[in-house]
């Protein structure tokens, strides 16, 4: 799942992904250790106060954007799901080097299964990150034996729901979190799915299958019953395909 590898600076205060790319020190820090720095709002205020040429508020005063240069890279911790990588990147403006942390992971897939009756096949499963159940569409990692993202998505659908279809189209691909990850998520739509077998859950999965009318999806998102960001992206891409959003 190649993509941009902009990440949190090791000496930066832990921040929202929308605030990446503002390192403050070149000294390395242990994984997960972050220190305070000037906030994005503070930087914006400083730039605004220095803008004496009458530029319209919101316009860039820094000129053409320039890429950072990676000087070195190393894996500092590995797990079955991801590796933690430390990059030393050089600023194009100051030439100073700063450490950034990247979670390396393989590409992911998810798939939106629709029955002939217009129902969406969803799964409700326990997510350890939030310590609660979520309502999602099938998905997972692309395994080495998968010949393509589409085959991986179809495999995940059959394994997690027991439903299958030969009519599968790709909806698009996104970067799940370019602030700290470089992988991509590939999203697919499966039309006219049919129940062919019982689901094949892993021993660590707590999952049930639920059918929901397709036109109920917006309400489930509004009501906070579907909160997985990458699932919401799949609904959006499906709406684009059907011309509901332009």
- What number of CA atoms fall less than 13 Å from residue 16's CA on the CB side? 5
Provide the 10 A C-beta neighbour count for residue 198: 9
Report residues of the chain scoring pLDDT below 70: 1-61
Q: Can you read off the two tokens belonging to residue 169?
A: 């189209």
The whole-number pLDDT of residue 8 equals 41
Question: Which domains does the chain possess?
Answer: 8-101 (no CATH), 108-241 (3.90.79.10)
- 232 vs 237: CA distance, rounded Å: 9
Within 8 A by CB and 6+ apart from 69, the residues are 89, 90, 92
Say if residues 182 and 4 touch (Cβ distance below 8 Å). Answer: yes
- 92 vs 97: CA distance, rounded Å: 10
Task: Write out pLDDT tens, residues 92-112.
Answer: 999 999 999 999 999 999 999
DSSP state of 142: P
Say if residues 103 and 180 touch (Cβ distance below 8 Å). Answer: yes
Within 8 A by CB and 6+ apart from 108, the residues are 1, 139, 140, 141, 142, 176, 183, 184, 185, 186, 230
Could you tell me the pTM of the whole model?
A: 0.75
Check the CA dihedral 159-162-166-172 and report its sign: negative
- 12 vs 37: CA distance, rounded Å: 6
Rg (CA), the chain: 21
Query: 163 exposed, middle or buried (CB, 10 Å; 0-12, 13-18, 19+)?
Result: buried
Give the strand pairing for 108-115 and 185-195.
parallel
Torsions phi, psi for 245 (to 5 deg): -130, 135
The whole-number pLDDT of residue 30 equals 43
Torsions phi, psi for 147 (to 5 deg): -80, -15
């Amino acid at each position: 799942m190649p993509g941009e590898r902009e990440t949190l600076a090791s000496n930066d205060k832990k921040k929202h992904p929308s605030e990446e790319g503002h390192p403050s020190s070149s000294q390395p820090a242990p994984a997960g250790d972050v220190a305070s720095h000037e906030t994005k709002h503070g930087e914006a205020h400083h730039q605004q106060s220095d803008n004496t040429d009458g530029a319209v508020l919101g316009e860039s005063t820094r000129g053409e954007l320039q890429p950072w240069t990676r000087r070195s890279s190393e894996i500092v911790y590995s797990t079955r799901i991801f590796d933690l990588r430390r990059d030393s990147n050089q600023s194009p403006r100051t030439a100073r080097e700063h450490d950034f942390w990247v979670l390396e992971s393989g590409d992911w897939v998810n798939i939106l299964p629709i029955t002939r009756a217009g129902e969406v096949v969803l799964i409700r499963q326990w997510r350890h990150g939030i310590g609660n159940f979520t309502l999602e569409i099938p998905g997972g990692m692309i395994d080495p034996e998968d010949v393509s993202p589409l085959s991986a998505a179809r495999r995940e659908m059959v394994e997690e729901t027991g439903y299958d279809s030969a009519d599968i189209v790709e909806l698009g691909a996104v970067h799940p979190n370019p602030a700290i990850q470089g992988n991509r998520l590939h999203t697919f739509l499966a039309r006219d799915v049919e129940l062919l077998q019982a689901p094949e859950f892993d021993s660590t999965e707590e999952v049930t299958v639920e059918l929901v009318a397709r036109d109920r999806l917006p309400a489930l998102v509004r009501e906070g019953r579907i909160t997985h960001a990458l699932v919401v992206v799949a609904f959006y891409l499906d709406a684009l395909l059907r011309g509901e959003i332009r």
